Amino acid sequence: MPVAEHETFGNGQLAAMRRPPLAKRVRRSTRLSQEAFAERFGIPLRTLQEWEQGRREPDAAVESYLRVIEKEPDIVAHALAVE
């Protein structure tokens, strides 16, 4: 159904309705569960859940971290591995 003329969407709300949050997109691209993703990349599970559900948004540094994970998840995991 088309959006009525009197309905307005600001701050990217319409785009946000169509696209999952960055954290969810990145996690899905790794094909990991929330628990596995959080553990592998050192993110508190509850924080990841809140990002994915849109209740909180990651800050700019975390957004950059998520984008690096999206591009090179194995390299990030290797760099974080405790020896």
Q: What structural domains does the chain harbor?
A: 13-80 (1.10.260.40)
Has residue 37 got a pLDDT over 90? Answer: yes
Structure tokens at 82: 């405790």
The arithmetic mean of pLDDT across residues 47-55, rounded, is: 96
Q: Residue 51 pLDDT more than 60?
A: yes
> Whole-prediction pTM value?
0.76
| pLDDT tens digits, one per residue of 61-81 | 999 999 999 999 999 999 999
Please give the mean pLDDT across all residues of the chain: 87
Give percent above pLDDT 90 in the chain. Answer: 75
